[in-house]
Amino acid sequence: MYQWRKFEFFEEKYVAKCTIPEEEEQDDNNVKEKEKERKIECCSSGRGKVVTGFDDGTVCFFDRGLKFNYSFQPHSSSVLFIQQLKQRNFLVTIGEDEQLTPQQSALCLKVFDLDKMQSESTSTASPDCVGILRIFTNQFPEAMITSFIVLEEVPPILLIAIGLDNGSIYCIKGDIARERITRFKLQVENHSDKTLSSITGLGFRVDGQSLQLFAVTPSSVSLFSLHDQPPRRQTLDQIGSGVNSVTMSDRYELIIGRPEAVYFYEVDGRGPCWAFEGEKKLVRWFRGYLLCVIADQRTGKHTFNIYDLKNRLIAHSALVKDVSHMLYEWGNIILIMTDKSTLCIGEKDMESKLDMLFKKNLYTVAINLVQTQQADAAATSEVLRKYGDHLYSKQDYDEAMSQYINTIGQLEPSYVIQKFLDAQRIYNLTNYLEKLHEKGLASKDHTTLLLNCYTKLKDVEKLNLFIRSEDSIGELKFDVETAIRVCRSANYHEHAMYVAKKAGRHEWYLKILLEDLGSYEEALEYISSLESSQAGMTIKEYGKILIEHKPSETIQILIRLCTDEGDKRGHSNGVYVSMLPSPVDFLSIFVHHPHSLMDFLEKYTNKVKDSPAQVEINNTLLELYISNELNFPSVSQSNEGADYLNVASEKTSKISVQTNGTISDHKSSKKEKGRLERREKGLHMLKSAWPPETEHPLYDVDLAIILCEMNSFKDGLLYLYEKMKLYKEVIACYMQAHDHNGLIACCKRLGDSVKGGDPSLWADVLKYFGELGEDCSKEVKEVLNYIERDNILPPIIVLQTLSKNPCLTLSVIKDYIARKLEQESKVIEEDRQAIEKYQEDTQAMRKEVQDLRTNARIFQLSKCTACTFTLDLPAVHFMCMHSFHLWCLGDNEKECPACAPEYRSVLEMKRNLEQNSKSQDRFFQQVKNSKDGFSVIAEYFGKGIISKTSNGSTPGLGSGNASSSSGF
């Protein structure tokens, strides 16, 4: 005990007096005298109050600061024991009352509800007594009570244990207020000497559903298991203790104070003991501290000590008077002396304790203190930091680092790192960084620093351990990218590759293989081992390097990815194919290797016929096939396609003017051969990808036309124009190439209207020959035959067109003109005869009109035109010489039923012609589509549709004014 350090972790707050004010007893003439005689028999605390019981039967309540609140008298004679309950505001007392009969004991137990007050007079009030219980009965003989304890079970159940001087324990359990109780008796071993069997202390132990009771006598320590029926007794020790030196710890340990030491008891017997000399007058437990009032036999003085058993220190020590009771309330320790004076002792705050220890450089004590008192992590870390700073200032770097390591998670790592960077203590710094990574609190910078430490120390073993220590866990506790970057910069490529592979960072693994080690075959093997999605991503990133060094192997991997050769796959399963990577996604890696790209796409199209990206694939292949040279990226992949074509054409022209050396000729011929082979493939693709039964091809037609034009691919252009029915563009190609035979043959095939051709092509061909400026008599004659056969152009147009060519003579068209003149003469004669006939018909119509206007009409019909019966009056006669009964006409009396349909059809035809004349688009469309536009215009004039004056509707003659008479 003398080796324990003493500290003042507690302080005396105030001193007071547990007395009743004089005004409370103003009716008593001997107040002062009675006050001196009154003695405190018992004390209790709880629910913010201190309760004292006096020998005159009075109970007093004191508030914070031991200020008197109120008092009442539960017993007439004396209050022996008192207990303030915690769960309910109840007070349990044992005291002496008036003895009604000699057979009944004067001792009784009472329960008061402190929340209910009853007024006894105008000036005093007392709590409501909810239960009174006689302790001793016939089954439970009377004896002296030596100890008393109450256990609050589930309200309103109480378990009360009363220890007697004869070694018996009376237990009362139940609801005392409702008198629903059970009694039972526990017996400690009997001794002939009554003083040896007196119960000096009791203590309940609650462990889950188990309930046990410690019982202490001067000669034994026993434990009763109350959950057994009957309760089972177990002797823990053959040595006991006296009154007031028995208490319970917050871990339900029994504590007994004896002159030589303080003993702790568990359910299985005696536990640890602490050798504190002196008679233990009072022993209590408070918030992990052991409280002892020790009497020094030599000096007779009493010392109050507060022991911190975990840290082996005395938290407070003070000389005190004779202490009769010890309580704790409001977070303070309250000592009540025999002279009724009280001493209140409170614990200092943690900061004050630590400041006291820091001033004495007692950092280990401070650390133990914060740990045992369960301080928060921040406070503990601050103590450890100060201890580490103290050790660092003493240049004890190893021990300082051990303290700093314990602050990980609370203290900013840069605080520690900066200290050891300055001190050049790389070994300590490495240790700290390792612990930081173990706890998963390291950042990228910490990982970089740790790996740099390893590489600076050239400690390959630790580097291996750091990187490979997570094999069984699976997840690395450091920043992967940082570790890879540092290992690469220090030329630890194997370590970097291991980290990349372990973390699944395939891009870093391949970057090291390709850029640092140049292991292209190993890189390809690694890519082959990955899943399809991961392999596709890595090839997109590093495919350019692989194509440059290992083109065929890379193409094989791409084919496997895009076709999944390892699995049984049907080519017709379009849904399955759409789930695979598309070859279009990998076009960018072939940007400088068009030959490899062509090889890849050809192999893919040979395996997959129904790819969702077939159009894009065919477009790319067409660019490769049609391009003059394959030295640059394809047109669609470059924003400078036109420049590329210009460069290609320049290169071609340069090659053509080279010397006729052997090597040069060989290269040129090889290039030309390759170009022709590609052109054949391109033409085949143009045809095969546009089957006759489909409307749209499996490639972009506009792009194909542009490519053919830019690369002068005549065969492709002709096929596309003809397929798109752009016949004029087809013959334009022949005209541009001066291929007269091909031009005429093409017109024979495409200009036949019977087969769906365009006859106007012959007009374009004739115009071409007319503007040619060279002798083409043979071709012109052949063209004129077809123009004459289909009557495509008038002779005047033919003459005007051919007159522009000075190389043509009249003999070319002499026969054609003679035939056309003969045909025109026949037509003129036929027209003259038709005119004469129309003039005669017109003259006859005019005469008839004049006759109708000037002469009367005689109606001689004797029968009705409608019903063919004899015509009777009333009758209706029309100018068209039709007569009808009036009842045969019905409501229509102004129109001849026989002539009306013909008349209406004529009117409808005229109305339609007038409406058509207003549609300019239709008129011009007819003029454009007609072989002789003049005839269309003449027809419109002839029908009277095109006129300067507006023609009104002319009433017909057949439905002229009708005349009716009743007796005509």
User: What residues contact 145, with CB distance under 8 A and at least 6 apart?
Assistant: 80, 81, 94, 107, 135, 162, 163, 164, 165
Q: Note the pLDDT of residue 653.
A: 41
Residues 803 and 772: beta-carbon distance below 8 Å = no
- Those residues with Cβ within 8 angstroms of residue 200's Cβ, 6 or more apart along the chain or in another chain: 146, 147, 163, 216, 217, 218, 240, 241, 242, 243, 245, 246
User: 635: pLDDT confidence band, cut at 50, 70 and 90?
Assistant: very low
User: For 951, how many CA atoms within 13 A lie in the half-sphere containing its CB?
Assistant: 16
Give the C-alpha separation, 815 to 788, whole Å: 11
Whether residue 64 is predicted with pLDDT greater than 80 in this model: the reply is: yes
Strand partners, 234: 223
Residue 617 has pLDDT above 80, yes or no: yes
The predicted pLDDT at position 933 comes to 72
Q: Read off the pLDDT of each residue in 898-922 and give the average, rounded to a whole number.
A: 78
* pLDDT band (50, 70, 90) for residue 35: low
Please give the pLDDT value at position 81.
94
Q: How far apart are CA 259 and CA 292, in angstroms?
A: 11
Query: Distance (Å, rounded) from C-alpha 844 to C-alpha 432?
Result: 129
Q: How confident is the model at residue 647 (pLDDT cuts 50, 70, 90)?
A: very low
Residue that the structure tokens 């004191």 belong to:
62
Among 12, 4, 6, 3, which residue's Cα sits nearest to residue 320?
12
Rounded to the nearest integer, the mean pLDDT of the chain is 81
Give pLDDT tens digits for 522-548: 778 777 777 777 788 888 888 888 888
In this predicted structure, the answer to whether residue 599 has a pLDDT above a threshold of 60 is yes
Q: Which ranges constitute the DSSP H helices of 336-425?
A: 350-359, 363-372, 377-393, 397-406, 413-422
Residue 570 banded pLDDT, cuts 50, 70, 90: very low
* Distance, CA of 450 to CA of 397 (rounded, Å): 18
Q: In the sheet where 269-274 sits, what is the strand order?
A: 246-248, 254-257, 262-266, 269-274
Q: How far apart are CA 791 and CA 48, in angstroms?
A: 126
For the cut 60, the answer to whether the pLDDT of residue 654 exceeds it is no
Q: What is the DSSP letter of 956?
A: P
In angstroms, rounded to a whole number, what is the distance separating the alpha carbons of residues 679 and 716?
A: 9
Is the pLDDT at 906 greater than 90? The verdict is no
Token pair for 108: 């009784």
808-827 per-position pLDDT tens digit: 888 888 888 888 888 889 98
Segment (H or E) for 293:
strand 289-295
Which pLDDT band, with edges at 50, 70 and 90, does 379 fall under?
A: confident
- The structural architecture, per CATH, of the domain 349-442 is Alpha Horseshoe (1.25)
Asked if pLDDT for residue 394 goes beyond 50, the answer is: yes
Please state the rounded mean pLDDT for residues 462-480: 62
- Give residue limits of the domains in the chain: 349-442, 727-823, 862-909
Cis peptide before 156 (omega within 30 of 0): yes
**Cα–Cα distance between 401 and 405 in angstroms, integer?**
6
Which range, 2-16, 221-235, 461-475, 635-649, has the best average confidence (pLDDT)? Answer: 221-235
Q: How do residues 309-319 score in pLDDT, each as one tens digit?
A: 888 889 999 99
The Cα 177–Cα 184 span in angstroms is 19
pLDDT of residue 533: 79
Please write the tens of the pLDDT for every residue from 696-736.
888 888 998 898 888 888 888 888 888 888 878 888 888 88
CB atoms within 10 A of CB 560: 14
Name, in order, each residue with C-beta under 8 angstroms of 9's C-beta and a sequence gap of 6 or more: 306, 308, 315, 316, 347, 348, 353, 356
What single string gives the DSSP state of each residue in 13-55?
Answer: EEEEE----GGGGTT-TTHHHHHHH--EEEEEEETTEEEEEET
Residue 96 in 3-state DSSP? strand
Name the residue with higher pLDDT: 869 or 89.
89
Residue 946 pLDDT more than 80?
A: no
Concatenating the DSSP letter of every residue in 239-273 gives ----TT-EEE-TTS-EEEE-SS-EEEEETTEEEEE
Binned at pLDDT 50, 70 and 90, residue 650 comes out as very low
d(CA 333, CA 610): 91
Residue-level pLDDT at 694: 81
Q: What is the pLDDT of residue 303?
A: 92
Q: What is the end-to-end Cα distance of the chain in Å, rounded?
A: 164
Q: What pLDDT is recorded for position 941?
A: 73
C-alpha to C-alpha distance for 303 and 296, rounded to whole angstroms: 8
How many residues comprise the chain? 968
Burial of 3 (0-12, 13-18, 19+ CB in 10 A): exposed
Report how far residue 497's alpha carbon sits from residue 480's, in angstroms, rounded to the nearest whole number.
11
pLDDT digits (tens, 9 = 90+) for 864-897: 888 888 888 888 888 787 888 888 887 777 788 8
pLDDT reading at 592 higher than 80: yes
- Least confident piece of the model among 84-88, 207-211, 451-455, 559-563: 451-455
Give every CB contact of residue 524 below 8 A, 6+ residues apart in sequence. 546, 550, 553, 554, 557
At 221, the pLDDT band (50, 70, 90 cuts) reads: very high
Q: Is 764 helix (H, G, I), strand (E, B) or coil?
A: helix
| Cα–Cα distance, 295 to 338 (Å, whole number) | 15
Secondary structure E strands in 49-167: 49-54, 59-63, 67-72, 78-84, 90-96, 107-119, 125-134, 145-152, 158-164
Lookup result for tokens 């006689």: 134
What pLDDT sits at residue 861? 80
What percentage of the chain reaches a pLDDT higher than 90?
A: 17
pLDDT of residue 111: 94
Predicted pLDDT of residue 945: 59
* 786: confidence class by pLDDT, cuts 50, 70, 90: confident
Placement of tokens 């007071």 in the chain: 16
Per-residue pLDDT tens over the stretch 416-429: 888 887 656 888 88
| pLDDT confidence bin for 215, thresholds 50/70/90 | very high
CA distance linking residue 613 with residue 161, whole number of Å? 91
Task: Read off the pLDDT band of 965 (50, 70, 90).
Answer: very low
Predicted confidence band of residue 634 (pLDDT cuts 50, 70, 90): very low
pLDDT the model gives residue 644: 34
At residue 375, does pLDDT exceed 80?
no
Q: Which of 742-746, 760-764, 836-840, 921-925 has the highest mean pLDDT?
A: 836-840
Lowest mean pLDDT among 129-138, 701-710, 893-902: 893-902
Using DSSP's 3-state secondary structure scheme, residue 368 falls into helix
Q: Is the pLDDT of residue 793 over 90?
A: no
Question: Residue 660's pLDDT is what?
Answer: 45
Least confident of 21-30, 180-189, 626-635: 21-30
| CA gap 213, 202 in Å, rounded | 7
The pLDDT confidence band at residue 225, using thresholds 50, 70 and 90, is: very high
For 155-212, write each residue's pLDDT tens digit: 888 999 999 988 899 999 999 888 889 999 999 877 666 667 899 999 999 988 889 9
